[in-house]
Structure 1
Amino acid sequence: MSKPELEFHLPDGPWRTPPGAGPGVEERVLADDPARGSRTALVRWAPGTDTSADGVTRHDFWEEVYLVEGALHDLTLGRTFTAGMYACRPPGMPHGPWTTQDGVTMLVITYPEASARP
């Protein structure tokens, strides 16, 4: 199975807490292909969300993030990233932990390393 073919539409899927996410984090999945390990989702963090308890994060997949609105503060780098900014992280790249004072909404695209794709 691959991601569904979708023409422009208003996504109406529910906002839900992703598995393993802390309080204040929700996602709306736009397209998903569990068999291939790829997903496109809107992710929003409520004002005051803090992932300090999770420490630095590393994934075994590619992750692309576009900040739609709001801002994220990276506690490791001591930098704040704002709406319109973009990140592309290869598997294993350390990032975070994060805080957001006023909340943030992100477009997040994840997919496996090319050699790991079925």
Structure 2
Amino acid sequence: MSKPELEFQLPAGPWRAPAGAGPGVEECVLAEDPAHGSRTALVRWAPGTDTSADGVTRHDFWEEVYLVAGALHDLTLDRTFTAGMYACRPPGMPHGPWTSPDGVTMLVITYPGPGGR
């Protein structure tokens, strides 16, 4: 199975807390292929979200992130990333932890890395 064929539409939700996410984080899955481990989602963080308790994050999959609205502050790099900015992270790339004082909405696309599903 692959991601579904979809023509343009407005994302209708539902917005849910992703597994393992901290308070203030929710996502709206736009398309996914669970069999192969790829997905596209809108992810939003409420104002004041802080992931510092989770420390630096690493994934075993590719992750692409486009900031649609708002901003994220990377506590490790001491840099703020704002709407319109893009990241492409290969498997194992360290990133975060993050804070978002005013909230942020992101388009997040993930897919398997080498040896993935």
Q: TM-score, normalised by structure 2?
A: 0.97
Say how many residue pairs are matched.
117
Q: Which runs of 4+ in 1 moved over 4 A?
A: none
Distance 2:87 2:96 in 1: 12
How far apart are residue 11 of structure 1 and its match? 1.5
1:5 is the counterpart of 2:5? yes
Percent identity between matched residues is 87
Distance 1:13 1:25 in 2: 14
Partner residue of 1:87?
87
Partner residue of 2:44?
44
Q: What does residue range 69-108 of structure 1 map to in structure 2 within 5 Å?
A: 69-108=69-108
* Aligned residue type for 2:5: E
- RMSD over aligned Cα atoms: 0.8
Where in structure 1 are there 5+ consecutive unaligned residues? none
Q: TM-score, normalised by structure 1?
A: 0.97
How far apart are residue 13 of structure 1 and its match? 2.1
Distance 2:13 2:2 in 1: 18
